[in-house]
Amino acid sequence: MGFVTATAARQAGRNFFELAAQFRSFATIGFRRYATYRQATVASLATNTTFGFLRSYVLLAVVAASGAGSIAGYSRAQLMSFVWLGQGLIGVVLLWGWNDLSERIRSGDVVMDLLRPQHPVFAYVSADLGRAGYAFATRFLPPVVIGSIVFGMALPTRATTYALGLCSVLLAVLVCFLCRYLVNSCAYWLLDNRGPTMAWMVFSGVLGGLYFPLRMLPGWAMWALWLGTPFPSILQAPLDVISEHGGVPGPAAMLAVQAAWAVVLLAACLLVQRRAERRLVVQGG
Amino acid sequence: MVDRIRPYLALIATQVRGQASYRTSFFFDLAGNVFFLGADLLALLVMLRTSGSLGGFDRAQVLVVFGLSQVAFALADLAVGNIERLRTYVRSGTLDTVLVRPLGVLGQLLAMDVGTRRLGRLVYSAGILAYALRLAHVHWTPAKALLVVVAPVAGAVFFASIFVATATVAFWWIESGELGNIVTYGGRDFTGYPVSVFGGWFRRLFAYALGMGFVAYYPALALLGVRDPLGLPGWVGWAAPAAAPVAALVAGLVWRTGIRHYRSTGS
């Protein structure tokens, strides 16, 4: 018997249809897997909704205290859209609580992912898009409905906003997934991945526009975050696109930044994956 | 008395030694907790920069409320925060080993996992509180000096009760997931703002029915010598720490009921 390499020879789909079929099976797996976590979905939903109330009241107090009818270019109704769409999107992009990959690296189970003929990034991203599809129905819509009933939200006035918003959410899921993949991949080098996980949790929320709209920051800080970090591409971008904020950056610019980050992060993931496979020693041999 | 405490002290000492031996992990946890608080503070300061005040209180006064709430939470998190892991113990059945030892169950669980890593958060939040009190020009009296010590400790007991009570849900509902976060981390965020920020049934539920208004907001009013815009009399701020023993009593009852419902995994 010859020398066995750590990874199988990868065959991408030989044509588009084969690739699409592979994507579909992984996405279905992702969808089905999360559809079985019903109690967890209910618990997350209750948590997101409670924090939605909290953030709504705080931002409304900021508007009330500032004396003007709007802050940072958001009307009252737009701020409520910002809060409740944000609470819904947390679950769709799955901002927190995904350490599947780092756990598999730590335990050595990751070898199963590497032996598949599909590239692991492709397999994981497909499954994550399937998961996002399930989350869109179960974790996005309920908070948005509750928010619009209790506080009143600004519904999009232009038909194009729905299309642009959907693209923006899709890109946000992709960017968030790629970030999580990179954070999880640190485990190839560290094994104990607590540090990177924690750093990600802190920065993704506060610098991504979950706690306050980034437009409340001074201009230079906002631009530095937009262009220098992927965080605003995860929440701030889809939130501003759907709530139709009129300021700069406009929807086209935000989508462009999101797309650029998706490309950069994808390249980074592929590079990291290649490096990691050379270095991986499966634990417990 | 000393003999009764000694086993717990031994458990704690083992924990601390164990945690400190993983230096990188320990350091990351220490730093991470400080960063989390920094993120909360950043969000608050950004909002105060836009509005100048919140719920009728100026920047320094809001920071006093925030500081009191954070010190209380950090103290509670340090002491009992790891009770959140009860869910894992129940799921895996490891609680059995705790039950067969001749020591109190709750005491053992708390001693089994001391959050020394969370010390950073306590020091940091105490610094914020001290700075806020200076900024707000509090007129100090002996009574106020006593209140500024008692209030965070009482608040910590209050948060600790919430931690224990919510963790107990795992005895009935193992997959309760992040449901407890609503009142633990949600409670921390709620108490960090003046209660006058919130409205409607949400305020009545969290501030009065669950008693979270008494953790930081009312003691802060007493320290600052400000009348409550919501109309409660001035002595409420001085009586607020009394909410802590009530919460502890309720949490104790919930815990006793919960532990009797424990059925091992059977495997």
- The dihedral sign for the CA sequence B74, B75, B79, B80: negative
Q: Which of B32, B46, B186 sits opposite A202 (nearest CB)?
A: B32
Q: Which H or E run contains B54?
A: strand B53-54
Is A251 inside any structural domain? yes
Report the domain count for chain A.
1
pLDDT, tens digit (0-9, with 9 covering 90-100), for A140-196 = 999 999 999 999 988 888 999 999 999 999 999 999 999 999 999 998 888 778 888
Of residues B107 and A13, the one with the higher pLDDT is: B107
Distance CA A27, CA A174 (A): 13
Is A69 inside any structural domain? yes
Of residues A38 and A51, the one with the higher pLDDT is: A51
Contact A71 B178 (CB under 8 A): no
**Amino acid A3: pLDDT:** 43
Any bridge partners for residue A70, and if so which?
A75
Query: Which residues in chain B are closer than 8 Å to A43, comparing Cβ atoms?
Result: 175-179
**Amino acid A1: pLDDT:** 37
pLDDT, tens digit (0-9, with 9 covering 90-100), for A242-281 = 999 888 889 999 999 999 999 999 999 999 999 988 877 6
Query: What is the 3-state secondary structure of chain A?
Result: CCCCCCCCCCCCCCCHHHHHHHHHHHHHHHHHHHHCCHHHHHHHHHHHHHHHHHHHHHHHHHHHHHCCCEECCEEHHHHHHHHHHHHHHHHHHCCCCCCHHHHHHHHCCHHHHHHCCCCHHHHHHHHHHHHHHHHHHHHHHHHHHHHHHHCCCCCCCCHHHHHHHHHHHHHHHHHHHHHHHHHHHCHHHHCCCHHHHHHHHHHHHHCCCCCCCHHHCCHHHHHHHHHHCCHHHCCHHHHHHHCCCCCCCCHHHHHHHHHHHHHHHHHHHHHHHHHHHHHCCCCCC
Please state the ipTM of this predicted complex.
0.89
Q: Which of B43, B186, B203 sits opposite A212 (nearest CB)?
A: B43
SS3 B53: strand
Is A20 inside any structural domain? yes
What range defines the domain where residue A108 resides?
16-279
Is A78 inside any structural domain? yes
pLDDT, tens digit (0-9, with 9 covering 90-100), for B198-237 = 999 999 999 999 999 999 999 999 999 999 999 899 999 9
**Amino acid B33: pLDDT:** 76
Distance CA B55, CA B83 (A): 34
Is A33 inside any structural domain? yes
Is A268 inside any structural domain? yes
**Amino acid A2: pLDDT:** 42
Is A8 inside any structural domain? no
| Residue entry with tokens 């590079």 | A271
Confidence check: pLDDT of A92 > 60: yes
Q: Residue A212: what residue type?
A: F
Contact B202 A217 (CB under 8 A): no
SS3 B101: coil
Query: Which residues in chain A are closer than 8 Å to B182, comparing Cβ atoms?
Result: 46-47, 50
**Amino acid B181: pLDDT:** 85
**Amino acid A4: pLDDT:** 47
Is A10 inside any structural domain? no
Spell out the per-residue pLDDT of chain B, length 267, in tens.
678 788 888 888 887 787 777 777 777 777 777 888 888 999 999 999 988 899 999 999 999 999 999 999 999 988 888 888 888 888 888 888 888 888 888 888 887 777 777 788 899 999 999 999 999 999 999 999 999 999 999 999 999 999 999 988 888 877 666 788 889 999 999 999 999 999 999 999 999 999 999 999 999 999 999 999 998 999 999 999 999 999 999 999 999 998 888 877 665
- Give contacts of A 64-83 with B, CB under 8 A: 64-66, 71-72
Which of A50, A96, A192 to mutate to probe the B interface, most B CBs <10 Å?
A: A50
Q: A237 and A215 in contact (C-beta within 8 Å)?
A: no
Q: How far is A219 from chain B (nearest CA, A)?
A: 13
Query: Which residues in chain B are closer than 8 Å to A202, comparing Cβ atoms?
Result: 32, 35-36, 38-39
Output b/e per residue, A234-267; b: 16+ Cβ within 10 A.
Answer: bbbbbbbbbbbbeeebebeebbebbbebbeebbe
**Amino acid A9: pLDDT:** 65
**Amino acid B175: pLDDT:** 66
Whether omega for the bond prior to residue A249 falls within 30 degrees of 0, making it cis, is yes
